[in-house]
Copies of this chain bind each other. A is one copy, B any other.
Amino acid sequence: MLQKPALHTVLSPKLLSLYDISNSVVVIIDVFRATSTIATALYNGASRIIPVAEVQQCIEIGKKLGGITAGERDGKVIEGLSHGNSPAEYPRSFIQGKTLVLTTTNGTKLLHMALNNGASEIITGSFPNLSAVCDHLVASKKNVILGCSAWKDRFNLEDSLFAGAVIQRIQEHFTIHCDSSLMASELYLAQKDNMANFIRKTTHWHRLATYGLEKDLEYCVTPDQANILPIYRNGDLVAK
């Protein structure tokens, strides 16, 4: 019998170096809100998304390519950029056929770390594209790293909940000897019918709800509203 590929969950970018990711598909998870926005913009026809770490770089690439520049700090659009991090800002009528240059703190950092550590393939995951992620991971038959972007390297609940949702769906296809995965899976199982209430307890909810983003956050924990697979290729995230 063939051995099943391994699946691990990484709870913070600071823990990524503990894992050999060289033969793995790495799923970048940043539920509130980067990877939810990435799925939504691609689902609505964005030609590509360029994730960048620095604001200045975002502005420069935006000018050079004529793309939409986007990024927030403390719930407000960053000075010099034109749009924010909300998935609601990227309907088909606006984003179709355009390039989105997106700067985010946590998700972009983890994506670049995965790239530098030699990930075999990088995709992004969020509840809006849950099924697309699960289908791809099962079909790939490769080792999987579920990479939680966390908040300034601190563990967060929402990224783990998504990891747990993935594990619940695909666990029979993988060998899982990983306490982080077991925790995420148990957490999701316990909370899946109570998500709207549970996420209101998270620190991130309290941080963002201050800015009136409740509708955004509820969208970000609803499965399959933008069911597409963002895959990283030569600097861009594109729909597979």
A-to-B contact residues, CB < 8 Å: 11-12, 14-15, 18, 151-157, 160, 177-180, 182-183, 186-187, 190-191, 201-204, 206
Contact check, A153 vs B15: say whether CB atoms are below 8 A apart: yes
How near does chain B come to A138, taking the closest CB pair, in angstroms? 23
- Given A183-B187, A190-B186, residue A154 in contact with residue B15 (CB < 8 A): yes
**Selected A-B contacts with CB under 8 Å, 13 pairs:** A11-B155, A12-B12, A12-B15, A14-B14, A15-B155, A18-B152, A154-B180, A177-B203, A178-B203, A179-B203, A183-B187, A186-B187, A186-B191
Stoichiometry (number of copies): 2
A191-B201 Cα distance, complex, nearest whole Å: 20
**Inside 8 A of A154's CB, which chain B residues have their CB?**
15, 18, 179-180
Question: With a CB–CB cut-off of 8 A, which chain B residues contact A190?
Answer: 186, 190
Which B residues are in CB contact (< 8 Å) with A204? Answer: 179
CB distance from A180 to the nearest CB of B (A): 5
User: Which residue of chain B is the closest to A158 with respect to CB atoms?
Assistant: B179
Question: Given contacts A12-B15, A14-B14, A190-B190, is CB(A183)–CB(B155) below 8 Å?
Answer: yes
